[in-house]
């Protein structure tokens, strides 16, 4: 287990004088903008971890070089300083993952544990998770944060690493598919959503996501099939009715589209989905303008 606080306190404070601003306010739900330096820092971590994986081929027991150890040591101290004791922080898996890499080095070269490190060891909650699985989740969360920072290519690389480490990681396929869709790479997005569906076939949301990608690529009939199946899986899924209504407009079926929009609006109102309600109302008005 890593011995935290090995360096002098004044050196620690100097090195991390601006670190507190980097991570502690990350919100995994809210879409906000963070300082550019935050995302560049995450990009550096991503690139170096990918390089590490390419040289070793895995994240299991490995022999870190001294330089790699010192770099990971700095990263971990910065993460701990910034995240604190918030176990629910979005980058908590990254802290655990980096800790394990460092531990393998210190078990060999710093075998003596202090009382503090023993107490830390008692707090471990992810000890039964494999290194590669933990790394996959760390890369997944890095990808999410880089997506928020509009670092699209780096986010794709992070999701790709998550999938390479955990091939059945359907959430990573879904997120990468959404990003590819935003980049207008519809065929690749459809393929990723299809992979996600293969691992989570009962997710109505995944069928809606793939249906939207198909619709954007002009495959409106196939898109409708996905929306139909999403509604079969979840008859109360307001967004599925709304998306199917939009597809029916493209298929020149305005009356059927209106029916879907009305159903979607009723469900959205019942579920108090304010943003979706506004969107559906706009669609209904647009359809009314087209048919008058």
180-207 residue pLDDT tens: 999 999 999 999 999 999 999 999 999 9
pLDDT confidence of residue 148: 83
114-140 residue pLDDT tens: 444 333 334 444 556 788 888 898 899
232-258 residue pLDDT tens: 999 999 999 999 999 999 999 999 999
| pTM of the predicted model as reported, rounded to 2 decimal places | 0.75
Long-range contacts of 203-206 (CB under 8 A, 24+ apart): 203/170, 203/233, 204/229, 204/230, 204/231, 204/233, 204/234, 204/237, 204/240, 205/174, 205/230, 205/237, 206/170, 206/174
Domain ranges for the chain? 1-167
pLDDT confidence of residue 85: 66
Of 47 and 57, more confident: 47
In the chain, the N- to C-terminal Cα span, in Å, equals 71
Question: 16 — phi, psi (to 5°)?
Answer: -110, 25
Rounded-to-integer distance, Cα 140 and Cα 171, Å = 9
201-229 residue pLDDT tens: 999 999 999 999 999 999 999 999 999 99
Rounded-to-integer distance, Cα 99 and Cα 75, Å = 10
How far, in whole angstroms, is CA 78 from its chain's centroid?
21
């Amino acid at each position: 287990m890593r011995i935290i606080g090995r360096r002098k306190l004044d050196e620690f404070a100097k090195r991390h004088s601006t670190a507190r601003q980097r991570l502690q306010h990350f919100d995994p739900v809210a879409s906000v903008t963070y300082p550019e330096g935050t995302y560049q820092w995450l990009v550096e971590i991503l690139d170096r971890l990918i390089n590490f994986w390419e040289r070793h081929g895995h994240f299991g027991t490995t022999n870190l070089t001294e330089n790699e150890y010192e770099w990971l040591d700095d990263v971990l101290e910065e993460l701990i300083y910034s995240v604190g004791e918030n176990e629910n922080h979005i980058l908590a898996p990254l802290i655990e993952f980096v800790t394990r890499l460092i531990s393998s080095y210190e078990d060999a070269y710093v075998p003596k544990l202090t009382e503090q490190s023993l107490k830390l060891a008692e707090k471990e909650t992810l000890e039964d998770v494999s290194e590669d699985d933990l790394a996959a989740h760390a890369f997944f969360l890095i990808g999410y944060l880089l997506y928020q920072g509009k670092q699209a290519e780096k986010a794709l690389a992070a999701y790709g690493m998550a999938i390479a480490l955990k091939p059945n990681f359907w959430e990573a396929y879904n997120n990468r598919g959404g990003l590819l869709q935003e980049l207008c790479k519809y065929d690749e997005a459809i393929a990723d959503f299809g992979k996600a569906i293969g691992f989570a076939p009962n997710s109505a949301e995944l069928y809606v996501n793939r249906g939207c990608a198909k619709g954007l690529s002009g495959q409106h009939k196939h898109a409708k099939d996905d929306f139909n199946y999403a509604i079969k899986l979840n008859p109360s899924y307001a967004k599925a009715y709304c998306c199917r209504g939009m597809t029916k407009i493209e298929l020149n079926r305005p009356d059927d589209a209106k029916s879907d929009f009305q159903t979607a609006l009723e469900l959205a109102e019942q579920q108090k989905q304010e943003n979706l309600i506004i969107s559906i109302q706009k669609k209904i008005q647009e359809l009314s303008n087209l048919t008058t």
